[in-house]
DNA sequence: CCTACATTTGCATCACTGTTGCAAAACAGT
DNA sequence: ACTGTTTTGCAACAGTGATGCAAATGTAGG
């Protein structure tokens, strides 16, 4: 109740630790754009690299955050807005990567359109990433 | 004329070297699914890692191959089927990643649908990657 | 075919991402 | 507060990708 981070961690059956609360708080403060592991590492010095990796894994498994594939070989993470539960994500929105400022954001209102698969293919997940100039960089 | 690899390299103003011909031949033989750097490295032992990276870069710039974002942090590459030229790619097809066999393939007949961007966003590139079970693995 | 110039290769090295095993520290429930 | 479980930090490792430089290779002209 008092602190939203404690609440979220408990609801997801995760032990409430300093590191997890700090990482979660960072996502709550920063929900305009997705965070890379390195962003978290530089914001929260003193927290071990490995702990951050493991925390991101745990949060992803619980459905607190979702990962966004980055073409530069570094995963990005953003808070799930709702509908995601233990084991199953329902983030069917489009992601946007700005080539100018480098930020990745969730376009929560733009949902991934349906595409018909060829005979014999069975789709279980669809990722759509749009690159271009974001609204902030276009001024 | 005689060897398609020589032909393709010359058409793109690339020096014809042993390594480039071998890599290109690998793509020609293997056009059902995309290749990772490591696939090429293990198929063509004796060729330096760095040479492979630089060749993949050169081929991508020339529009011979295109890269496919992989969520596992390893880029995949596949031959461009047409419409791609020096500097500009026109691969608007969907990519499929099989979670069973791990292969990545181009669904050349399935093209990426249009999505309307929110106010202020300017899209220049759209990537769509579908995961699931491919037709071969479903038998 | 040989020479001279430009390009490419291989090697060493580096930076970054992500994983694993293990002992010490922190947490949860009684 | 005590005990058992979970998490953390550390060390080490594997993989991807980039860069600088000297040696090797390719290209074009005669």
Between vectors from CA B108 to CA B34 and to CA B41, what angle results, nearest 5°?
Answer: 10
Q: Is residue B137 part of a domain?
A: no
Q: What percent of chain B has pLDDT over 70?
A: 94
Answer whether B119 touches A (CB < 8 Å): yes
Q: What is the average pLDDT across A13-28?
A: 98
Residue range A97-129, pLDDT digits in tens: 999 999 999 999 999 999 999 999 999 999 999
Question: What is the extent of the structural domain holding B74?
Answer: 4-132
Q: Which of B113, B125, B135 sits opposite A115 (nearest CB)?
A: B113
Answer whether A72 touches B (CB < 8 Å): no
Q: Is residue A138 part of a domain?
A: no
Q: In this structure, what are the phi and psi dihedrals at residue B36, rounded to the nearest 5 degrees? A: -95, 165
Residue range B81-135, pLDDT digits in tens: 876 666 666 789 999 999 999 999 999 999 999 999 999 999 999 999 999 999 9
* pLDDT of A1 strictly over 60: no
Q: Is residue B39 part of a domain?
A: yes
Domain count of the fold of chain A: 1
Which chain A residue's Cα is nearest to B68? A71
Q: Is residue A137 part of a domain?
A: no
The predicted structure's pLDDT at residue A70: 85
B21 touches strand D (CB under 7 A): no
| B112 alpha-carbon distance from chain centroid | 16
Burial environment of residue A114 by CB neighbours within 10 A (0 to 12, 13 to 18, 19 or more): exposed
Share the mean pLDDT of chain B. 93
Bases on strand D under 7 Å from any protein CB: 6-12, 15-20, 25-27
Q: Which of A96, A113, A122 sits opposite B132 (nearest CB)?
A: A122
Q: Is residue A103 part of a domain?
A: yes
Residue range A68-83, pLDDT digits in tens: 988 888 999 999 987 6
Q: Is residue B111 part of a domain?
A: yes
Q: Is residue A121 part of a domain?
A: yes
Q: What is the CATH number of the domain that holds B11?
A: 1.10.10.10
Q: What is the average pLDDT across B27-43?
A: 95
Q: Where are the beta strands (DSSP E) in chain A?
A: 35-36, 65-68, 76-79, 93-98, 104-111, 122-133
Nearest CA to CA, how far is B6 from chain A (Å)?
31
Q: Is residue B138 part of a domain?
A: no
Please indicate whether, in this complex, the C-beta atoms of B123 and A131 are within 8 angstroms of each other: yes
**A133 strand-pairing partners:** B122
């Amino acid at each position: 109740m008092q602190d939203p981070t404690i609440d979220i961690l408990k609801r997801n059956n995760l032990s409430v630790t300093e590191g997890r609360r700090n990482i979660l708080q960072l996502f709550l403060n920063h929900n305009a754009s997705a965070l890379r592991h390195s962003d978290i590492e530089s914001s929260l010095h003193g927290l071990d690299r490995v702990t951050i990796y493991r925390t991101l894994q745990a949060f992803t498994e619980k459905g607190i955050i979702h990962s966004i594939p980055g073409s530069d070989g570094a995963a990005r993470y953003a808070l799930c807005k709702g509908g995601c539960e233990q084991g199953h994500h329902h983030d069917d929105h489009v992601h946007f990567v700005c080539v100018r400022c480098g930020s990745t954001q969730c376009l929560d209102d733009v949902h991934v359109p349906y595409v018909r698969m060829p005979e014999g293919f069975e789709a279980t997940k669809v990722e759509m990433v749009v690159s271009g100039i974001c609204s902030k960089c276009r001024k």
